[in-house]
Structures are given as C-alpha cells and as structure tokens.
Structure 1
Amino acid sequence: MRSFSKYFSDALASTPNVEPHKFLQIHGTGNKEHESSIIVELKLSSYVPFDVLPALLFSVRSLYSSCADSRYLLFLIIDSRDGTLDIFHACARALHNFASRLQGAIERILWVGVPCTISVDSIIANDLTLSRIQSIFCDARNVTEHIDVGCLSVNLGGIIEPEIAEQFFRMRLCLENLLRRTHFMAKLYMAMHEDLKRFDAPNGIANLTVQSIHERMDE
C-alpha cells in the first residue's frame, strides 16, 4: 500500500484536472470548544475523487501538525445533500482507508443533510473503523447548533466564501513547488561541497582551475 505524502501536489498528481476547492474546504483550527481540531468541510458529489481523498486528508493534517506541537485531529463536516447511495459507499471506503491507517486521526464527523432515503447509519455500523468515530447527523438549517458559523462556508450558512479555498490551494501548491526547488538546490549544493572536498589544491584555491579539476576526476 502506497504511503501518503504531506504534499497536496503529490495527492493530486494522479488527478491533475481535479479542482480540490470545489469539494474540499479547510477552515483551520476551531474555537475553544474544538481548539485541537482541524475543521474540514467536504461536499459530496460525483465530482469528488474518493480514491485520493485519504491522501488529501493526510496532507491537511500534516500541514497543521508540522506547525505546532499539538496533536491535531480532524473534525469533518460533510455536506451530504447531493449524496447518492453509491457516493456514500465511496465516501465510507475513503474514510475507512484514511482512519484505518491513522487511527484516532478523525475526532468526529458531522453529517449535514443526509437524504432520508439513505441509511448512512447502516453503512457506518458495518464498518468497524468508522463505527468508532463519533458521528452526528443534522439538517442544513440547524448545522450552526453544532459548529460556529465562522467554521462553515456560505454553502452551509456560514461566513467563509468558497473563493478562499481556491486561493488557499493555489498558494499552497505554489509554496510546495518552492519548497521542492529549495530542497533540490540544497541537495545539489551539498553534493558539490562533498565533491570539492575530494580535490586537493596544494598551491592554494586561487590556482584551482576547471582543467585541474577534470584532471583529478580522471585519476
């Protein structure tokens, strides 16, 4: 089983045309009631690439865990209003994949607007891993009874505009690209440093020429 990466770009590499901000929003850490939780809002639809969702959730958690000593847990808010039975099963498999590899990483799941014709309870009950996670069910009209509006997008009656998620992912991918380039340059510099240490310049470094380096490399 392939290991997860802390980079969003790695998680999205297999689905380059997917725009994560259309289904995933990261609202940061919660208020005092959920101060050790990372609030993540997921909108269920046929657009969601559930095969890469576990890797995306891992990247989210790694992003916050690397910035503080606290052991942050995920508080998932799942907008289920457009979910179908197949979508719920796909979502359950993705959450199982993530939660089984990082036990205890999901603190709770708030299922919002689950269609009355679909028994998500049964899907969860049949999965030992998911059944250990606290699940809360509510309608979209009373979601603010469970989470502050400052931790919700406008899609669920909150105050966070969806465009913020788009800006976040764009900035994060640019930052990851910069980190990769910086890491590559650092490795290149260290390799050159080690190579230069192998060369002896008895007459001083000022007399070390490219030709003399080539001659020593041929020895």
Structure 2
Amino acid sequence: MFVMSSPSGAGKTTLSRRLLADDPQITLSVSATTRPPRAGEVDGRDYFFVSQTRFQAMVHGHELLEYATVFDNRYGTPRAPVEAALAAGRDVLFDIDWQGTQQLQQTDAASDLVRIFILPPNLAELERRLIARNTDHAEVIAARMARACDEIRHWGEYDYVLLNEDVETCLAELKAILLAERLRRRRQLGLADFVRAMLGEAV
C-alpha cells in the first residue's frame, strides 16, 4: 500500500497520474465520497459518489479501510477493491490525508504500508497554485491554506518526505522509493523457494 499525502495544491494529483501512467504494476485506490462530482469527474474512476446514508452504511458495515471528514464532506477507502488488488500481487496507490494514513497504520496490512508526504516549495507557491485553479472562492482558499498548515505539521509521521519544487525530479524520487520498497526481502514473493532450490542444485 503506497500512500501519498500532501496539502491541497502541492502537486500530489499530478504526480499520482504520472506514476500510474508510467507503471502498470500499480493501481489507484478509488475513494468513496459524499461530495458532488466536479466538472469532468466520472463515478467509479475519480471517486465513488455516494449519499450520506450509503456512506454511513459503509462505515457500519466495515466496508471502508479508512475514512475522514474534510470540509463537511466525507471520504473513505472501500476495502474490497484494495484487498482484491493486493491479493492479485498489485501495488495500490492511495491519495489520502494524514487521518486516513493513521487509520491504515492501525490495520492488519500496516506492515505493507509505505507512507510518503509531498511538500510544496513554500506556502506562497501553494496559495498561488490554489488561486490558479480558479475553482474556489477566496474564503475556500483561505480555509484550504489553514488546513494545509495543519496537514504539514504531520510530516514527521511519514516514512519519506519529498519537496515538490520540480515535478520531474519529484516523480523520479517517487519511482526510486517504489522500486526500493518492492526490492525489500519480505516483498519478493518466492525468493525463499528460489534460494532453497539454488542451494539444493549446488549440493
């Protein structure tokens, strides 16, 4: 489970899309949300758009690996698709905040969790990016900036912290982390059998 967190506007979505496009072995975990779709968003691809009632039923039914409330909307990770992807030997990319990451850390699969936090170059650049989106009113941007400061305070809870000054450099660093984590001994399935067979052949 490959988690990327960042304040809104730090470039996490761009990095996620590039990583998914370049690496066929990783799949995106699609979150469920109670917020309405934005222009161009597709149900089941960008999010699973659900009602408050359905979301609450998913919580009570233990259908979510993690969930949180952000700006009066609820977000959560459906359990079944993630478990199916992991069972099929695929890595799963999570685009979630620090609250969700903490909840994943408390699950049975925590040993397979890799946590990465993406920092913006500075707060002024972060605010400029949010304004450039031209999707939020000034008061919403102010709220996002306040939330960004709170999120950044949790950087120390992550395994890796990357500074996104340049997208290409940051993407290369992400790929290096993914490769290194895949090469950890415990993640190389079949390695023990391979070594036993090698030694058996040598005797």
Is the pair's TM-score, using the shorter chain for normalization, greater than 0.5?
no
Larger proportion of strand: 2
TM-score normalized with structure 1 length = 0.30
TM-score normalized with structure 2 length = 0.31
Larger Rg: 1
